[in-house]
Structure 1
């Protein structure tokens, strides 16, 4: 296998010193290996002069014959290693709305590192954000904090986002540059389905800073229902700033809440089900989100 690898790299580089550097061996070993192969085959594989190295017709034939087989062998070994260390198989990831696009760099790195792993995507409904991860239907969820369930492990904060109020285009706040949390006392906000209070408070608090109650409107079970309820003017809803770009409906407006804390987002998984595949994903997330120095 090593001799085949030396020949294939030499055929790509057409330069023995670069081949040696790429493989971490000496130029002399490259030259000796090629000569050994030529003696075994009985004809030159390279046309060499003092200035240039080219594949001979026989060398080109051998290169074409070996490269696909070598790739298959490498893939077979990698697949066996992935099966042995538990990083082969399907990882089910849950995200809300457009947030899978927010973490594309994480997904790309995970799949590049673990080609035998497969990602299956499920949509998390903001009205019931923990249902799928707690029921075991997800391996990992990407959610906003805080999450205080003892059976769940929360990774480091990956990013933060501004909180805005989504209103209908004809709502009194639609033309404002911004509002404050106290202004929510004059609003009706959507009612969630099974959302923990500490998570609900991030976007739709129950009371204003002065203690005024924030009225609840129609109960929604899906993000699409929330969009429709707000668009029709029945209620408002706190959202992240990403919604502005992904839902530019003419019937909706987005108003910054200037004194609202930024929402914080992280990966979450069940502590008791931290499989090798989950750990591999979490490592990829940590590396992909690490600031570049």
Structure 2
């Protein structure tokens, strides 16, 4: 009697994410990979590259180029629309969309921890296209602390529409129509050869984004 064939178990990709896994799940699906082939590993915005450098991740989701000499970045695998996060009682909370010029009326967040300052300038522009200063005064620590401040004050955070999937219902994610969407890429350590199954995933995600 022939021995039944057993296919090898799929190798897991350790994919670093911040905030919601919703955007990463879209990238995984577009690349044609099953959800079960990916382990989502959260990283903190205050030390975004620490898990990658410690070997706890194979690749991670990044927005924009991090400008880190030891980090390699893929081509775009998705785009994430821009938004402002505000509490439900905020003056902008009921809007369908806002301009970044209006956002500048309220206090925002300064660059956290070891997050690259050049990238933070893309996430939270220091000035609007018309030259208004975006006041970056609050400390960015954890998502929980961010939510509590937005809930209880008129603070705002210029961020991304994908966070709508992870924030509580009393925090509004209002699209900002005059900031371009952020390119989303995959990143890994320079000089470390990607395992074959991880490299195949990166290539598939890049192809899917070009279609």
Equivalent residue number for residue 202 of structure 1: 122
Residues 176 and 168 from structure 1, CA distance in 2 versus in 1: closer, same or farther, beyond 3 angstroms? same
Tell me the CA shift for residue 244 of structure 1: 2.4
TM-score by length of 1: 0.61
Q: Determine the structure 1 residue equivalent to 2:16.
A: 94
Say which structure is richer in helix: 1
Tell whether 2:88 aligns with 1:169.
yes
Offset at residue 120 of structure 1 (A): 4.2
Is the CA contact 2:108–2:135 (under 8 Å) kept in the aligned structure 1?
yes
**Aligned pair 1:103/2:23, yes or no?**
no
Match of 1:280 among 197, 203, 207: 197
Question: Which consecutive unaligned segments of at least 5 residues does structure 2 have?
Answer: none
User: Which structure is higher in RCO with an 8 Å CA cutoff and minimum separation 6?
Assistant: 2
Partner of 2:155: 235
Equivalent residues in 2 for 1:211-290, closer than 5 Å: 211-233=131-153, 235-249=155-169, 251-275=170-194, 277=195, 279-290=196-207
Larger Rg: 1
1:199-220: per-residue Cα shift (whole Å, max 9, x none)? 2123322222233322224313
> In the TM superposition, what is the alpha-carbon distance from 1:234 to its structure 2 partner?
5.4
- Specify the alignment match of 1:193 in structure 2: 113
- 1:237 positional shift: 1.1
Mapping of residues 69-148 of structure 1, within 5 Å = 69-72=3-6, 75=7, 91-99=13-21, 100-105=24-29, 109=33, 119-148=38-67
**Structure 1 unpaired stretches of 5+:** 1-61, 80-86, 113-117
> Aligned residue pairs: how many?
207
- Distance between the aligned counterparts of 1:205 and 1:258, measured in 2? 14
